[in-house]
Structure 1
Amino acid sequence: MKSLEELYKRALDLKNKGMGDKEISTELHLSVNTVTWLLSKDFLKESKVQDVKIGWRTAGVYGSRISSISEIIADIIDEESQIGEYQVSSILGITINGIPFATMVSYLMDKELVVYRPHPSRKEGLFSSNFASVRGKNIVIIDDVASTGETLKRTIMDVKSEGGNVVLVVVLASKIHGDEIMGVRLRSIIRTSLIGSS
């Protein structure tokens, strides 16, 4: 129970700082439903949560560790591009947590870097004008955790609407079922799944 109480306090603190449930879910690597469940204090009752929290702070505190994980991601991209027989033009990092990995992968693979920021209250996200554009390019999307897949779906749609072609999505950990999202191949270093029923 103590860890749930700590998670509740973190969620409440973020809520008090003005974050919405979607932003809190991204920050804590939980589904929006789990954040709503936590903030309603339903965890104090007998109900059981249907989510898995993913934390990768141990890897994130050192650039050398991010680099090591990025080498794995680059290897996965190479493998998939050979299987799919396509050339990768650019690596897209989703803010905030996908950017360090995308930056390192773009460096390791000598590819352009695209930075994308989902918008919590609008349908469309924003592509940073300080980095590469997606128009006419084969894009690999990188993020840290795929919780519900909604951020990845929005990113894929926005890349397509800007004239880009998403060829692959790579995440550190996936909580969603399946190897595709919106018809795009999804690869994860770690896949989580709940076993049994609540």
Structure 2
Amino acid sequence: MMEIQALREKARKLKESGLNTYEIASEMNIAEETVEWLLSKEEKEKPGKDVKIGWRSIGVYPLRIRYIANAMADIIVEEAENRELDVDTVIGIAINGIPYATFIAEELDLELAIFRPHTEKVGVFSSNYAGLKDKNAVIVDDVIGSGKTMRKAITATKKEGGNPVLCVTL
């Protein structure tokens, strides 16, 4: 686990490189409120509510991603059954949602679509993956902070003619 001072320094460097709060939060996999706290508070103050589990402790080992994705797939099956939904496609939100979505799509034998959010616009779907027209889709990301990225993915899915039926994050 990173020390608070190391997190502060990383947030400051990202800010100095021109990233905004939302982009820093995405890069560090923490809530925007935590970024604001890291950038504005004195070192002697107590940290906020987030507990940092570094992405690298999960992301460098595909088996760990698969285990998490399998749990997410199980939840998707359960929710789809409870709501009497058919699911056709799994949408992975770039970047960190893609590995989970890939393993989930494989586990459930579903198509895979990739959504690339944009900081100022809605974002786009990669044309190299599944289309969404007339398909029920599950949107997958690693974490949810403010909900902006997930809302953009929902909006873009509808714009592409798809039907977002579930959203799943850690």
Root mean square deviation, CA, Å: 2.0
Counterpart of 1:165 in structure 2: which amino acid? N
Residue aligning to 2:64: 65
Given that 2:4 and 2:47 are in contact with CA atoms closer than 8 Å, whether structure 1 keeps it comes out as: no
Q: Deviations over 1:140-175 (max 9, x none)?
A: 011111112221112111111221111111111xxx
Q: How high is the sequence identity, in percent, across the aligned residues?
A: 46
Unmatched 5+ stretches in structure 2: none
Tell me the equivalent position of 1:167. Answer: 165
User: 2:23 and 2:79 mapped to 1: Cα distance?
Assistant: 31
Q: Give the secondary-structure state (helix, strand or coil) at the position aligned to 2:34.
A: helix
TM-score by length of 1: 0.77
Residues 9 and 46 (structure 1 numbering): CA distance in 2 closer, same or farther, change over 3 Å?
closer
Alpha-carbon deviations, 1:29-63, whole Å to 9, x = none?
A: 222233233223x2336476354545343222111
Q: Counterparts of 1:45 and 1:22 in 2: how far apart (Å)? A: 25
Indicate the SS of the match to 1:155: helix
4+ long deviations beyond 6 Å: none
Cα separation, 1, equivalents of 2:127 and 2:42: 43
The count of corresponding residues between Structure 1 and Structure 2 is 169
Moved more, 7-16 or 137-146: 7-16
CA distance in 2 between partners of 1:145 and 1:109 (Å): 21
Structure with the higher helix share, 1 or 2: 2
Return the structure number with greater strand share.
Answer: 1
1:15, distance to aligned residue in structure 2 (A): 2.6
Q: 2:38 matched to which residue of 1?
A: 38
What is the CA distance between 1:76 and its match in structure 2? 0.9
Q: What residue in structure 2 maps to residue 12 of structure 1?
A: 12
The structure showing larger relative contact order (alpha-carbon pairs under 8 Å, at least 6 residues apart) is 2
